Chain A
Amino acid sequence: MTGMLMVFALLSLALFSLGLAGIVASRHAVIVVLSSELGLVASMIFSLSAFSYYSQGNALGLLFSLWAIMSAEAIMLIVFYRYLARAEMSLDISKLSKYRD
């Protein structure tokens, strides 16, 4: 890898690590969602930097990876919603304080 691509890759991996560690170490539902957003943004930076440096102008790979990242976000939120619903947690926004227990 070249220097510039390497630093972009390391930044995105550092952001991804922070996001993944945040999901494990946090007990606030919204912070967990924010952590996953951080991971997805890191994935976007990584795929875009790889596209910028290696692609020969064919955007199909980039579009596919962006689509996959967006799908992962939607699937993750659905799974999270199902988990909260199955655990019989209130999804009432005014009762978010219950999540701390």
Chain B
Amino acid sequence: MDILLYVFAAFAVIELLLAAYVFVAKSLLHAIVSLAIVFVFTSLLYLILSQPLLAVVQLLVLVGGISTYLLVGTASESFSHFRHTNFALMVILAIAIFAIIAYPVLKSVNAYSPSSSAVSFTLSGQSQFLQEDMPIFYIAALLLFGLALGAIALYKKLGEKE
């Protein structure tokens, strides 16, 4: 439980920093790549919650879904370099919103009792397969994502030459 908590804390800190970087990054492409990594960490959080099926679904949806944003990011790369977010206003708003919505949650500590054990949303007969081959899904997703980034880098290089 303690190790899981430390792993979760590390993932949570990285995820929040990357989420904040989406608004700091001047390049739209960097913001989109940052969001994609946020999605990967979300998928890892699902694994901590013992939900391997949803983790894989999230990972595959990420690969497909984020490609749309990569397309837009690449298309608008040359004229998206401007300060798009008022960061001070965003930080103040984020803290205020968090304080308002987190208050009821913090207030309800120990108000509910959880079920005896965490329930895993897996299809019968497939959960074992998913758990054993989970690293393959992550490697495949990273390879596909790396391919997309490589294509963008090549595209930019060709654009510079022209």
Contacts and interface: CB of A to CB of B under 8 A. Distances in A.
A62 to B, nearest CB: 6
Interface string A74-87: 00000000000000
Nearest to A73: B65
B63 interface: no
A26 B84 contact: yes
Nearest to B87: A25
- Select the residue from A10, A21, A31 with max chain B CB neighbours within 10 A: A21
A86 B11 CA distance: 41
Nearest to A15: B19
Interface stretch (B41-49, B133-141, B142-150, B152-160): B41-49
Contact of B51 (A9, A27, A52): A52
Contacts of A30: 28, 31-32, 69, 72-73, 76, 80
Given A8-B49, A30-B73, A97-B76, A25 B105 contact: no
Interface SS, B side = helix
Contacts of A48: 46, 49, 51, 54
B15 A21 contact: no
Interface residues of B, number: 61
A48 to B, nearest CB: 6
A-side interface size class: 35 or more
A93 to B, nearest CB: 5
Nearest to B89: A25
Interface SS, A side = helix
Contact of A31 (B9, B23, B110): B23
Nearest to B94: A21
Contact of A34 (B31, B109, B118): B31
B59 interface: no
A16 to B, nearest CB: 7
Nearest to B51: A48
A6 B9 CA distance: 12
Interface string A14-43: 111111111011111011011101100100
Interface of A: 1-11, 13-22, 24-28, 30-31, 33-35, 37-38, 41, 44-45, 48-49, 51-57, 59, 62, 93-94, 96-97, 100
